[in-house]
């Protein structure tokens, strides 16, 4: 079929405690809206790209034949265990890998028992994929800048557009990453930094207002001075999945909020 | 031998004062375990990276001579945002798969943790004004940096361990903040070792220069040593300069140039592991022993040892045996 739905989600263990903070609750509710959007569009496969799964030697694609277990977060190990059990579409992962290779993006599929799945993807899938749809995951290559990330995404999207399944593409990324560096009461969690708060407001405003031209100036003026998630390459990744590689319709931002000082966002993107 | 809250008692009953009996720069490329083919690691190799593996053989022999109660390892691959975390579950076991080199490293590990020492480290760190926390979840997956360094130092896993996370302050804030944090953590660690009466070996699980090839030179044979070389001459010269400073005992000068080293050679010591260890050892101004140097996928790795002058085999400074 084609790519029928796209979303940006931020994900962290704090989302498992929505009762503690209205921002967490709002973000979790935002996932519900994305879930409804995916259901309405008949999504049959989900492809995750996460800034918390980093590749260094080329590209990586999750093709685990037995991708289940219990994960414990490296930072928030006291928030409990994260059991996971993914249904991985291994054929899709292999096809993506081949498409990347043919276009000059060398990579590998990973199918290893015990391979570490990142916390953000596990939690995003738990909140988004309650039907246990088959998935695959694409790593965020640390050496691909924004332009290369977009080019890579365009290559994979060309293949996804030609697939028989209805596909939902999800970028898992924070917006800003000024975490609190001391222990806080989660009930008191707020986005850290006035500049970060302003950036989130301006960033979200540009997306919901379809003012794409404002993003260049915003990035030029702000990205060097605020802590952000991987240069906000998630935007380039999602742009690469759009027809002609361009956003056109306004984004629907379902929620924004703090995730231990970082700024999170949950949004649906319409082609 | 009874162990008290504040110190280990000798066979004669007198209070012992713990001491650091050795420190090792113990880099963690998974290739070293892969090249050795131990039974715990699933992938098989034809060998490779022998110069570094032979260097580690010397360390294994030294650790046997030193007879430590515990090995403490500080690893940059357990990076924490909020403070310094310390492994404190009595037993940790599982399967460690390297996310970057899963085809080389899939290792079944299991070790005992010195929980009492871990608790006292956290106490001392907090008393020093640091954010610090115990990791008590028994299902926690230990990072591959910790596992590789420990395997290379003690493949029998018969010595209890304390694992310490690398707080990301050098990256989140700046070099100076990071150095201050690691200095205080190192000193807190030393006080905890002294209080608990342990004979301790420390391990800084870091590579020196860290720029590397972005593709494996020979994907069909990762252990093809004909394709292994340093990433750049500049990086090599930086490594040699830093190693020589340590071999000459010029640790103050080492710390002075470390920010430049980190910036120009992308050195992994930025993560703070070596600073933690050397500060715990009181900034040793005696020569470090170089056991070996070698590259792994272009990065520069040195295996080095610091033994306090009075800490020979079976004895240690301040230990009442």
The DSSP annotation for B74-109 comes to EEEEEEESSSEEEE--SEEEEEEE-SS-TTT-EEEE
* The predicted structure's pLDDT at residue B8: 58
Show the CA angle centred on residue A78, arms to residues A72 and A83, nearest 5°: 35
What sign does the CA torsion over A36, A37, A42, A48 have?
Answer: negative
Burial A155-190 (b: 16+ CB within 10 A, else e): bbbebbeebebbbbbbbbbbbbbbbbbeebebeebe
Q: Is B99 on the interface with A (CB under 8 A)?
A: yes
User: In sequence order, what DSSP letters do the residues of A40-109 get, joined into one string?
Assistant: HTT--EEEEEEEEEEESSSEEEE--TT-EEEE--SS-GGG--EEEE--B-HHHHHHHHHHHHHTT--EEE
**B99–A115 C-beta distance less than 8 A:** yes
Of B80, B102, B165, the CB nearest to A110: B102
The reply to whether B141 touches chain A by the CB within 8 Å rule is yes
Contact A183 B131 (CB under 8 A): yes
Q: Which of residues 38-57 of B touch A (CB under 8 A)?
A: none
In a mutational test of the A interface, the residue from B110, B141, B171 whose CB has the highest number of chain A CBs within 10 Å is B141
B121 with B162: CB under 8 angstroms? yes
Strands A107-110 and A45-55: unpaired
* Candidate from B82, B143, B215 with C-beta closest to A182: B82
Which of B276, B197, B200, B275 has the alpha carbon at shortest distance from B242?
B275
Bridge-based pairing of strands B19-25 and B299-306 is antiparallel
Q: Are B52 and B151 in contact (CB under 8 A)?
A: no
Q: How many CB atoms within 10 Å of residue A91?
A: 12
Compute the nearest-CA separation of B95 from chain A (Å): 6
Give the mean model confidence (pLDDT) for residues A86-102.
97
Any chain A CB within 8 A of the CB of B158?
Answer: no
Smallest Cα distance from B57 to chain A, Å:
29
Cα of A38 to nearest chain B Cα, Å: 30
pTM: 0.93
Q: pLDDT at position A244, please?
A: 85
As a whole number, mean pLDDT of residues A95-115 equals: 97
Q: What percent of chain B has pLDDT over 90?
A: 88
3-state secondary structure A184-200: CCHHHCCCCCHHHHHHH
Retrieve residue A160's tokens: 């996804």
Tokens of B45: 């190799």
- Token look-up 């900034």 returns B283
CB A166 within 8 A of CB A43: yes
Task: Spell out which residues of chain B touch residue A260, defining contact as CB-CB under 8 Å.
Answer: 81-82
Is B137's CB within 8 Å of A72's CB? Answer: yes
B107 close to A (CB below 8 A): no
Query: Does any CB of chain A come closer than 8 Å to the CB of residue B215?
Result: yes
Between CA B43 and CA B35 the distance in angstroms is 10
Establish if A83 touches chain B: CB-CB under 8 angstroms.
Answer: no
The percentage of residues in chain A with a pLDDT greater than 90, rounded to a whole number, is 93
**H helical segments located in chain B:** 30-36, 50-66, 115-127, 144-153, 169-172, 175-196, 233-247, 251-265, 273-280
What sign for the dihedral angle of Cα A11, A13, A14, A19? positive
Contact B95 A113 (CB under 8 A): yes
Q: Which residues of B touch A108 (CB under 8 A)?
A: 103
Tens of pLDDT, residue by residue over A211-269, are: 999 998 999 888 889 999 999 999 999 999 998 888 999 999 999 999 999 999 999 99
User: Are B80 and A78 a contacting pair at CB < 8 A?
Assistant: no
What is the number of CB-based contacts under 8 A between chain A and chain B? 79
Please list the ranges in chain B whose pLDDT falls under 70.
Answer: 1-15, 311-321
Tell me the nearest-neighbour CA distance from B131 into chain A, angstroms: 6
Interchain CB contact of A78 with B (< 8 Å): yes
Inter-chain contact B172–A57, Cβ cutoff 8 Å?
Answer: no
Nearest to A47 by CA among A184, A144, A168: A168
Residue B96 at interface with chain A, using a CB cutoff of 8 Å: yes
How far apart are the CA of A15 and the nearest CA of chain B, in angstroms? 17
* Chain A contact present for B143, CB below 8 A: yes
Tell me whether residues B97 and A115 touch, CB distance under 8 A. yes
Q: If you measure CA to CA, which chain A residue comes closest to B139?
A: A72
pLDDT of residue B12: 45
Q: Is the pLDDT of residue A38 over 70?
A: yes
Residue A209 reports pLDDT greater than 70? yes
Asked if B141's CB is within 8 angstroms of A75's CB, the reply is no
Contact A167, A43 (CB under 8 A): yes
Return residues 268-307 of B near A (CB < 8 Å).
none
Q: How far apart are CA A265 and CA A257, in angstroms?
A: 7
Specify whether the CB–CB gap between B84 and B129 falls below 8 A.
Answer: no
Per-residue tokens: B120: 């006292």
Give yes or no for a contact between B3 and B191, defined as CB atoms under 8 angstroms apart.
no
Would the CB atoms of A75 and B137 count as touching at under 8 Å? no
- β-strand partners of B290: B304
Min Cα separation A148/chain B (Å): 15
Tell me the chain B residues in contact with residue A116 when contact means C-beta distances shorter than 8 Å.
97, 99, 141
Query: What is residue B315's predicted lDDT score, i.e. its pLDDT?
Result: 34
The DSSP H or E segment spanning A28 is helix A22-40
- The answer to whether the beta carbons of residues A231 and A254 sit under 8 Å apart is no
- CB contacts of B31 in chain A (<8 Å) are none
């Amino acid at each position: 079929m084609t790519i029928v739905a796209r979303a940006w989600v931020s994900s962290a263990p704090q989302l498992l405690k929505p009762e503690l903070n209205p921002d967490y609750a709002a973000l979790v509710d935002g996932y519900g809206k994305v879930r409804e959007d995916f259901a309405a569009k008949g999504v049959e496969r989900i492809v995750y790209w996460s800034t918390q799964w980093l590749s260094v030697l080329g590209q990586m694609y999750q093709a685990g034949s037995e991708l289940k277990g219990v994960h414990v977060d490296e930072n928030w190990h006291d928030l409990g265990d994260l059991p996971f059990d993914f249904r991985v579409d291994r054929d899709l992962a292999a096809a993506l890998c081949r498409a990347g290779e043919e276009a000059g993006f060398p990579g590998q599929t990973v199918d290893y028992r015990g391979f570490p799945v990142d916390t953000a993807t596990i939690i995003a899938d738990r909140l988004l994929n309650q039907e246990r749809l088959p998935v695959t995951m694409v790593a965020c290559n640390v050496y691909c800048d924004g332009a290369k990330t977009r080019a890579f995404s365009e290559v994979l999207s060309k293949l996804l557009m030609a697939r028989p399944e209805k596909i939902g593409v999800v970028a898992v990324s924070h917006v800003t990453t000024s975490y609190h560096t001391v222990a806080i009461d989660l009930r008191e969690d707020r986005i850290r930094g006035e500049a970060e708060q302003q950036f989130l407001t301006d960033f979200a405003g540009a997306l919901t207002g379809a003012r794409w031209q404002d993003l260049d100036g915003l990035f030029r003026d702000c990205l060097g001075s605020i802590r952000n998630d991987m240069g906000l390459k998630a935007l380039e990744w999602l742009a690469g999945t759009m027809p002609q590689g361009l956003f056109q319709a306004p984004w629907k931002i379902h929620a924004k909020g703090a995730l231990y000082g970082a700024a999170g966002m949950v949004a649906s993107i319409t082609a | 031998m009874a162990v008290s809250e504040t110190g280990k008692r000798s066979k004669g009953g007198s209070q012992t004062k713990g001491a650091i009996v050795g420190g090792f720069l113990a880099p963690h490329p998974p290739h070293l375990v892969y090249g050795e083919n131990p039974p715990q690691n699933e992938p098989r190799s034809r060998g490779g990276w022998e110069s570094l593996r032979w260097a580690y053989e010397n360390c294994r022999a030294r650790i046997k001579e030193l007879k430590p109660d515990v090995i403490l390892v500080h690893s940059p691959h357990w990076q924490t945002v909020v403070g310094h975390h310390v492994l404190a579950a009595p037993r940790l076991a599982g399967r460690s798969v390297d996310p970057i080199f899963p085809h080389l490293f899939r290792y079944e590990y299991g070790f005992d943790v010195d929980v009492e020492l871990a608790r006292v480290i956290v106490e001392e760190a907090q008393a020093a004004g640091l954010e610090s926390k115990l990791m008590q979840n028994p299902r926690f997956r230990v990072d591959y940096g910790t596992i590789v360094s420990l395997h290379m130092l003690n493949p029998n896993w018969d010595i209890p361990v304390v694992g310490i996370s690398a707080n990301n302050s050098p990256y989140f804030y700046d070099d100076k903040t990071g150095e201050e944090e690691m200095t205080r953590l190192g000193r807190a660690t030393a006080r905890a070792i002294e209080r608990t009466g342990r004979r301790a070996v420390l391990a800084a699980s870091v590579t020196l220069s860290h720029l590397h090839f972005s593709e494996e030179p020979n994907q069909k044979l990762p252990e093809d040593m004909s394709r292994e070389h340093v990433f750049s001459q500049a990086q090599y010269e930086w490594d040699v300069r830093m190693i020589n400073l340590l071999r000459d005992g010029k640790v103050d000068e080492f710390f002075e140039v470390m920010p430049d080293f980190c910036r120009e050679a992308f050195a992994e010591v930025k993560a703070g592991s070596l600073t933690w260890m050397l500060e715990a050892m009181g900034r040793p101004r005696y020569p470090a022993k170089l056991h070996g140097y070698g590259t792994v996928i272009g990065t520069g790795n040195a295996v080095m040892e610091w033994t306090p002058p009075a800490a020979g085999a079976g004895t240690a400074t301040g230990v009442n045996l």
